[in-house]
Amino acid sequence: MWLRLSRGTQALVTLLATTALAAAIPGVIPYVSDGALDLVDNPPLRVDVRSNGSTAGLYLASDTARSEPAGALRNPGGPGWVPLGDSEQVLILEGRRSGTVAITGLVAEMVERRPPMTGTFFGIPAQGEQENTILEVRLDDPQGVPLGRDGAPYFVAHHLELAKGELRVIRIRSWTNECFCSWRLRMTYHYRGADHILLLPAPDKAPFQTTAGAARPADYQVQYVWNSHGVLVRLDCRTNGTECAKTHVPSHPPVR
């Protein structure tokens, strides 16, 4: 009979059945409430994920050599384009239970790693100031551990804690000099004696992606760049390698 009830009905029955016990034993209500939420698959922590482009400007690459004239190029940054050099991930965390949720770890888990994209380069230098990033992930480092501003693994010394309804924002800058990288973040957190794992983005969502720059700017087949007159132009590097070689492609210090 119990197994045939829906999870929502089970949660309601559980909550009603323990009301008398909760009244008799002070402090038990939060645990009863948590048990009901567990039955309806309402996790202690909610994380909204946002993936932004490169932080040094809008630098993108694709595997294919795009043939559109510069004036006809539409939606750079859409499907088929990947942030070049680095990218930013924003995690918005919300505690959803009566007790404190402690974030105990975060690590990048590689889904795919292959040579950088060299089909098409698209670049717009940064305009104005960039928002500060609190954590950095070096995708070329096999450990993939987020580092704080001091260069040390952040979650070794810090545990973020969230009370019910409390929000925290984690801003991450991930970069590579070596690969096209596709990855997820594995977050671990602790709540009421139990450890939990979240994959971000979720397994049914597309992973994060970033590609390193080509070894040389002229290694791209095609470039879309702004000339000295502020006009977007298309360069075919297969026939105009000298001009393509002048393009700035973002890079970062090597991982030590």
- What residue segments make up the domains of the chain, in order of their start? 2-39, 45-244
Q: Helical H runs in the chain?
A: 7-17, 19-24, 29-39, 154-157, 241-244
Is the whole-model pTM more than 0.85?
A: no
Packing angle, helices 29-39 and 7-17, rounded to 10: 170
Using an 8 Å Cβ cutoff, are 234 and 132 in contact?
A: no
How many whole angstroms separate alpha carbon 2 and alpha carbon 107? 40
In order along its 256 residues, the chain shows pLDDT tens digits of 444 545 555 544 444 444 444 445 555 445 545 554 454 457 999 999 999 888 777 889 999 999 999 989 887 888 889 999 999 999 999 999 989 999 999 999 999 999 999 999 999 877 655 566 689 999 999 999 999 988 899 988 888 899 999 999 999 999 999 999 999 999 999 999 999 999 999 999 999 999 999 999 999 999 999 988 989 999 999 999 999 999 988 776 665 5
Q: How far apart are the first and last CA of the chain?
A: 61
Distance of CA 93 to the CA centre of its chain: 13
Angle in degrees, CA 96, 88, 86, rounded to 5: 155
**CB atoms closer than 10 angstroms to residue 44:** 23
pLDDT at position 199 is 98
How many whole angstroms separate alpha carbon 139 and alpha carbon 227? 32
